[in-house]
């Protein structure tokens, strides 16, 4: 300390070079060697060597921090003197440091290439009180026991300690040799009062001695267990030899293999207990009995499940987003949900797997999206198709009392994946069936419930297996066939049909390169322009997805491959709109699905089916008759009711006219929805049917560039319907310019694709009068002209006045 006091004149005003320490706490009177490698620390050591070899060391709060700030360091450190030092070839310096005294850091001073500190000393005293003397003897006694039990502390330390008379120095020496955490050592360094420090040392030594005693007991038990294991090994080898003489050697080897599998499987306590019990049963059985085969298969199934094996998630969100974008065009909602899930996993560290349900028409990429998600986040992918599944045992497995019993498809698939956190796709969940063998949908309630699937019980296993870390993804075309209780457990994400520009982009970026590669066509040998691709989409396909588009492109690739293989094409084949018919034949569809000519009694409705949105051309016709209503086109019960409500509303409106009292009893009404082979149902065609009837009654054509959807009431109110996104996409695809939606569906307009909102005028309506104002080609007048028209339809120019 003399050199230090001379330099500072007793004031500690000058700054000292600072060296932060990662994993060591240096005490006064302690000598230790450290390696200095960080450049600011090397510069500080160099500076101290050039002057008086005095510097300050302070321990970092977190050893992993490479460039510590003042907040990363404890504010109590130690002034040290540099003894021997060696410069190593890699630029680091190995120095021997001797602790001089405790100091508190007051201020950090930025120097040219290192950090300095101004400090104040922490004064300690060596009072000779009875309490200190008693504590000193207690600490010495405890430390002697500590060194005796802990083999990592050399006995020479005790000899050095007995030669130390200064109590303060003795306490620091003991603290320096304790094998404890740095934060505990730092507390000892920061404790100025000797009595308090000795008391703290006494508590720490007591705790360490208790831990060492426990470790000693454990070591003795392990040693005894090793001796027992060696004895068992000897006996097993002897038994093995005896069984080999009896011709049962292979069976014994199989038994030992099962025992090893159970030990390494990492099962839960419950499962391990069951497996060991079954193994003991197996050992007592004759290997030739059928029961032995059942038990052996059961144990093997238990031991081969991934009880603790899991894959590490790729939490690089930018990389995951890039891979999802590379694999699929659009589908922003789905991608955003996956990134949200990974973000929470990154922040929390663990999360129950969500239950996602992708709902959309065929061909929009629901199944392939699941595979892409698994690849992006680095998980295994499993797919199970549920279409047509009617047996509950397919999900939960069969009980072992049955011959040929096996686990359900959930457990089998997880076993095959070899990891407890795969991406598990349950495909076509809307096509589950049910019969006398049970209801698979009811069995899925436990699997797809995040609060229950931690304890999923398979009938075959009869022990709980945790599937809460599995990322379940289900797919469906519609949701109304899914039981409400099952649907409530899933987060539904709807995938609408693709728009024209999206199909073009998908065709160019994904489908065409894929088909060219599949047919052996190199890049540059086949060229299809954007306009040609648009022609294929509009004239040869009519779908919400792109599955038929891929088939048409495959057909083109086959014909081009034939030309290349036979030598008929020696350079790049260019497909144009003119040459398209020679590859795909006559176009299957016209560019527009609606008739541009004005028609009376024909209205354009919209439907939402499993295949996406569809256009419905609803026709109504009047003819002399007996007041009957005829409905054709395979209409379901709900749609038939909509037609009856529409007729009742139209008749109620017609009462405002001066018609004969028997008018509606002398006219038949026929409503037909074309494509009669396809069943149709639902209330959303009510507005279109009502419009077609009113158009027919009053001989007013309906605008053909307009489509409508909505349920209608007897009072003429227009009620909201579902599938607005899919219906609007279908309307745009059909060439519709104006779309009528229920007023209560106004909230859905914000979610419509930008192209739909840009290319179609969307109008919301509350009543049928609003619909008539936009849909009919001229304003509906309840006056004389139409009364004359209806009266004259049956040869009576002067209709009677209505009865009041």
What does DSSP assign to residue 511? I
Closest CA to 303 of 365, 349, 257, 368: 257
* 3 state SS of 113: coil
Pair 697, 653: CB distance under 8 Å: no
For the CA atoms of the chain, what is the radius of gyration?
A: 42
Q: CA-to-CA distance for 10 and 173, rounded, in angstroms?
A: 26
Phi first, then psi, for residue 512 (nearest 5°) are -65, -45
CA distances in angstroms from 495 to 328, 441, 722, 734, listed in the order given: 12, 23, 14, 20
Residues in Cβ contact with 775 at an 8 Å cutoff, skipping those fewer than 6 apart = 603, 691, 702, 703, 706, 708, 740
- Is 312 designated active site? no
Residues in Cβ contact with 746 at an 8 Å cutoff, skipping those fewer than 6 apart = 764
Angle at CA of residue 712, ends 670 and 773, nearest 5° = 85
Angle at CA of residue 572, ends 571 and 577, nearest 5° = 130
Alpha helices in 384-428 (DSSP H): 393-396, 409-417
Q: Among 41, 684, 695, 728, which one carries the catalytic annotation?
A: 684
Tokens of 430: 């809307």
Q: CA-to-CA distance for 94 and 80, rounded, in angstroms?
A: 15
Q: CA-to-CA distance for 277 and 298, rounded, in angstroms?
A: 12
Q: CA-to-CA distance for 180 and 304, rounded, in angstroms?
A: 41
Q: Among 185, 380, 503, 727, which one carries the catalytic annotation?
A: 727
Q: CA-to-CA distance for 299 and 680, rounded, in angstroms?
A: 53
Closest CA to 558 of 535, 537, 584: 584
Pair 105, 75: CB distance under 8 Å: yes
Helix axes 366-377, 317-327, angle to 10 degrees: 150
Number of H helices, E strands in the chain: 29, 26
Pair 777, 704: CB distance under 8 Å: no
- Is 727 designated active site? yes
Residue for token digits 């019960």?
637
Q: CA-to-CA distance for 81 and 98, rounded, in angstroms?
A: 5
Residues in Cβ contact with 139 at an 8 Å cutoff, skipping those fewer than 6 apart = 170, 171, 174, 198, 201, 202, 205
What does DSSP assign to residue 520? T
Q: CA-to-CA distance for 376 and 686, rounded, in angstroms?
A: 45
Tokens of 736: 């519709």
Closest CA to 491 of 365, 319, 352, 385: 352
Q: CA-to-CA distance for 308 and 420, rounded, in angstroms?
A: 7
What is the set of active-site residues? 684, 727
């Amino acid at each position: 300390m003399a050199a230090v006091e001379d330099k500072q004149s007793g004031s500690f005003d000058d700054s000292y070079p600072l060296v932060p320490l990662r994993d060591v706490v240096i005490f006064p009177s302690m000598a230790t060697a450290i390696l200095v490698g960080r450049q600011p620390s090397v510069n500080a050591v160099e500076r101290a060597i050039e002057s008086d070899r005095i510097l300050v060391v302070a321990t970092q709060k977190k050893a992993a921090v490479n460039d510590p700030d003042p907040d990363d360091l404890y504010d109590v450190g130690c002034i040290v003197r540099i003894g021997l030092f060696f410069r190593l070839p890699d630029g680091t310096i190995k120095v021997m440091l001797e602790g001089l005294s405790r100091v508190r850091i007051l201020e950090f001073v930025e120097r040219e290439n290192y950090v300095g500190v101004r400090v104040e000393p922490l004064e300690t005293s060596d009072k000779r009180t009875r309490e200190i003397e008693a504590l000193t003897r207690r600490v010495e006694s405890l430390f002697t026991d500590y060194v005796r039990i802990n083999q990592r502390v050399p006995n020479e330390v005790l000899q050095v300690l007995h030669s130390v008379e200064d109590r303060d120095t003795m306490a620091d020496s003991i603290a320096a040799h304790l094998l404890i955490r740095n934060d505990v050592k730092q507390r000892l360094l920061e404790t100025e009062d000797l009595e308090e420090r000795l008391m703290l040392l006494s508590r720490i030594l007591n705790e360490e001695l208790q831990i060492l005693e426990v470790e000693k007991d454990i070591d003795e038990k392990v040693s005894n267990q090793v001796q027992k294991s060696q004895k068992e090994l000897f006996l097993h080898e002897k038994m093995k030899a005896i069984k080999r003489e009896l011709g049962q050697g292979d069976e014994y080897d199989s038994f030992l293999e099962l025992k090893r599998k159970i030990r390494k499987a990492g099962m839960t306590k419950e499962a391990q207990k069951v497996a060991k019990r079954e193994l003991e049963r197996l050992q007592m059985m004759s290997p030739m009995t059928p029961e032995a085969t059942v038990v052996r298969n059961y144990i093997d199934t238990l031991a081969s499940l991934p009880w603790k094996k899991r894959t590490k998630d790729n939490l690089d969100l930018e990389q995951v987003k890039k891979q999802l974008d590379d694999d699929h065009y659009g589908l922003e909602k789905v991608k955003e949900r996956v990134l949200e899930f990974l973000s929470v996993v990154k922040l929390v560290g663990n999360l129950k797997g969500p239950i996602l349900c992708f709902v959309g028409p065929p061909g929009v990429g629901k199944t392939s999206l699941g595979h892409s998600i698994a690849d992006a986040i680095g998980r295994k992918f499993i797919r199970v198709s549920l279409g047509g599944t009617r047996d509950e045992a397919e999900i939960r497995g069969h009980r072992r009392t049955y011959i040929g019993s096996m686990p359900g498809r959930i457990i089998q698939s997880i076993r095959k994946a070899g990891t407890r956190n795969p991406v598990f796709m349950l495909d076509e969940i809307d096509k589950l069936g049910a019969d006398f063998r049970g209801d698979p949908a009811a069995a899925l309630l436990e699997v797809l419930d995040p609060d229950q699937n931690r304890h999923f019980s398979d009938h075959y296993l009869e022990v709980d297996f945790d599937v809460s870390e599995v990322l379940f993804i289900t797919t469906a075309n519609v949701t109304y066939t899914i039981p409400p209780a099952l649907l409530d457990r899933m987060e539904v994400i709807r995938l609408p049909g693709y728009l024209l520009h999206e199909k073009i982009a998908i065709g160019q970026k994904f489908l065409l390169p894929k088909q060219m590669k599949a047919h052996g066509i190199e890049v540059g040998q086949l060229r299809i322009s954007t306009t040609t691709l648009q022609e294929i989409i509009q004239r040869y396909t009519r779908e919400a997805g792109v599955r038929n588009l891929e088939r048409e492109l495959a057909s083109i690739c086959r014909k081009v491959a034939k030309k290349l293989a036979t030598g008929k094409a020696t350079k790049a084949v260019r497909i144009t709109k003119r040459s398209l018919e020679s590859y795909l034949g006559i176009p299957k569809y016209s560019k527009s699905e609606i008739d541009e000519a004005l028609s009376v009694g024909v209205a354009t409705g919209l439907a939402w089916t499993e295949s996406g949105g569809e256009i419905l051309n609803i026709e109504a016709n009047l003819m002399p008759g007996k007041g009957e209503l005829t409905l054709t086109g395979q209409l379901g019960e709900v749609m038939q009711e909509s037609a009856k409500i529409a007729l009742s509303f139209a008749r109620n409106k017609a009462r405002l006219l001066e018609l004969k009292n028997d008018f509606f009893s002398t006219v038949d009404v026929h409503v037909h929805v074309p494509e009669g082979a396809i069943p149709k149902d639902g209330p959303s065609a009510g507005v279109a049917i009502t419009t077609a009837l009113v158009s027919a009654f009053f001989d007013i054509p309906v605008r053909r560039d307009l489509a409508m959807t909505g349920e209608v009431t007897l009072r003429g109110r227009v009620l909201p319907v579902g599938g607005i996104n899919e219906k609007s996409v279908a309307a745009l695809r059909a060439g519709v310019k104006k779309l009528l939606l229920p007023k209560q569906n106004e909230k859905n307009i914000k979610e419509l694709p930008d192209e739909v909102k840009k290319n179609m005028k969307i109008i919301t309506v509350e009543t049928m009068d609003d619909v008539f104002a936009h849909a009919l080609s001229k304003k509906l007048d309840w006056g004389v002209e139409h009364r004359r028209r209806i009266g004259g339809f049956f040869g009576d120019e002067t209709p009677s006045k209505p009865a009041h």
